[in-house]
Amino acid sequence: KAGVTQTPRYLIKTRGQQVTLSCSPISGHRSVSWYQQTPGQGLQFLFEYFSETQRNKGNFPGRFSGRQFSNSRSEMNVSTLELGDSALYLCASSLDFDTQYFGPGTRLTVL
C-alpha cells in the first residue's frame, strides 16, 4: 500500500512570493492534516481537512490556507512568504480519528 506522498520535496523561494504544497494521502484515507516543523517551535498543527471540509485550524495567520479535493488530495498555500516560514511542512493522513501516517515532508527555504 503506497504511503503518503508530498510534492515537491524541496523548495526555495524568496520573501514575498507564494508557494503551494501538495499532499496525496494513503488510499482510502479521508482526513489530511498539515503540520509545520521548525527547530524553534517544534511540530505545530496547521489545519485538518476531512471530505473537502476544513474541520480544524491551528494558530497561524491567514497567509496559510489549504484545501482538499474530492479525491482527498490536499494542497496548502502560503502567501507573502516571510523568512520565518522556512520549515519542514508535513502532511499526515488517517481514516478519521485514528493513527495519522506522515509523508516525507516538503522542506521550504525562504531567502
Sites of contact with another protein (CB under 8 A):
31, 33, 35, 42-45, 48, 50, 55-56, 58, 90, 92, 94, 96-105
CB of 35 to another protein, least distance (A): 8
CB of 17 to another protein, least distance (A): 25
Give residues with Cβ within 8 angstroms of 68, minimum separation 6: 32, 49, 50, 51, 52, 53, 54, 74
- How many residues does this entry show for the chain? 111
CB of 2 to another protein, least distance (A): 14
Using DSSP's 3-state secondary structure scheme, residue 85 falls into helix
Nearer to another protein, 33 or 74 (CB): 33
Separation between Cα atoms, residue 48 and residue 42, nearest integer Å: 18
Nearer to another protein, 42 or 62 (CB): 42
